Amino acid sequence: MFDRLDPAARDVLDRAARQARELHHRHVGTEHVLLGLVLAGGPVARLLTDRGCGPRDVHAEIVNRVGEGHPQGRPGELLAGLGIDLAEVRRRAEATFGAEAVAQVALRPRPRHRHWPVVRRWWPGCDGGRPCASALLDTEWLGCAPRLKRVIDAAQLRATPAQVSPAGLLAAILDEGHGLACRILADRGVDLPGLRAAVRSAPLPGGQASA
């Protein structure tokens, strides 16, 4: 899936997901990736920071527009509230069926509705980009906003056969042009075509192939 990302771009997405979790959002969207890009440092972050989009600015814009979600307990904590000892349930399941079978079941995508076929797994346990959880593994996965999925796919397609760099991610977000990230940039007075040109021409390590 997101297999053609270079380590720096992976780091950006990791940061984006961490920020989404801290905001108690259930999806990762272009706005979180923008925040991840700014937080990751390096030439791309400098391009953005120089245009008045520092980490604090972007974070404030996201809170302003999307708000903060509700903190949700992990499945283990929630089930403990019902008097269920999840660790014990898992221990018994693994003793009976084996750890491998338990992990297999927990990681299999589960459509929540019979009319939503599982088309493609985006990341473990996640079907069609929706956020989902495994009680047995006591884990929750963030969803991936459809637009972000498209943006990353486009970046990967353009970067072939090279890997996508952070510059490639930003270029794809700007080219798609309708995400929350673009609206945040535009509303902060950033000249989007100018930024796009800067991303393309800047001497970014590994960025030329994708930008």
Binding residues for another protein, per CB under 8 A? 70, 72-73, 75, 78-79, 81-82, 84, 86, 89, 93, 97, 101-102, 105-106, 108, 110, 114, 117-118, 133-136
- CA dist 189 to 116, 171, 173, Å? 40, 18, 17
Beta carbon nearer to another protein, 94 or 175: 94
Beta carbon nearer to another protein, 54 or 109: 109
Least Å distance between CB 81 and another protein? 5
Least Å distance between CB 76 and another protein? 8
Beta carbon nearer to another protein, 53 or 106: 106
Beta carbon nearer to another protein, 8 or 141: 141
Beta carbon nearer to another protein, 1 or 118: 118
Q: How many CA atoms lie within 13 A of 182 on its CB side?
A: 18
Residue carrying structure tokens 């042009």 = 177
Least Å distance between CB 124 and another protein? 14
Rounded distance between C-alpha atoms, residue 207 and residue 211, angstroms: 6
Beta carbon nearer to another protein, 56 or 114: 114
Least Å distance between CB 18 and another protein? 21
Least Å distance between CB 126 and another protein? 13
Least Å distance between CB 93 and another protein? 6
Lookup: tokens for 119: 């088309």
